[in-house]
Amino acid sequence: MHCKALLFDLDGTLVTSLNFVEHSWTRWAEMHGLCALEVRNFLHGKPAISTLRHFLPQASEAELHHQFLALEEYEATHTEGIEALPGANTFLTRLNELEIPWGIVTSGSMKVAAARIRQTGLPLPPVLITSENIIHGKPHPQPFLLGAERLGIQPEQCAAFEDSLAGLQSVWAAGCQAVEVKTAHSVPHNLGQIPALEDYCSIRISPRYDHFFLSFQ
């Protein structure tokens, strides 16, 4: 895979937070008398406010904002046990050493993303796109289009790593090259022949004259 920049989702792609995300939303669903399984099946890859609007269609914007802030505070202050995927720290550090442009594109808020990056010890991304930066969340292409724009690289020259279906749809809609991250906690998508990895231990990066080459072993 030839590219000039890399973009990464955060939850389930760089850090092992999927179980905690599901726990947080299960807790929220039970507090509101909703089917937790239905909520969990809907939320993956999407901004929290989109999930809130979907399941609380009669709520006012003020109430939705209140619900969002409560969820955000809970997730930002409960990060125990969240870890970086194997090899992720080393791989991102290598990108910095090679001066390869990269960024994180997450559906989470800045507060939650910062807490999880700090908890896992990931290098600070040169570009960080969060829910505050976008109008349209995944699967809309805006998040990855903005990530590529902030890096100064054309979308088709970016490889984007994602674990959720909504995220992969966002990657494709933006015109980026997709890499699917499949961990033990990922939901299988059966998407066919696209590059995939379980961790970052076996990925290799080879600089070229004006780009670099990614290989997956």
Q: What is the set of active-site residues? A: 9, 11
**Distance between CA atoms of 191 and 128, rounded to whole angstroms?**
27
Which residues, at least 6 apart from 148, have a Cβ–Cβ distance to it below 8 Å? 5, 7, 154, 155, 157, 158, 174, 176
**Quick count: other Cβ atoms within 10 Å of Cβ 171?**
29
Contact 102, 8 (CB under 8 A): yes
Most distant CA pair in the chain: distance in Å? Answer: 57
For residue 168, give Cα distances in angstroms to 119, 163, 194. 25, 7, 11
Token representation of residue 207: 């600089």
- Which CA distances in Å does 77 have to 8, 50, 73? 23, 22, 6
Neighbours of 184 (CB within 10 A): 8
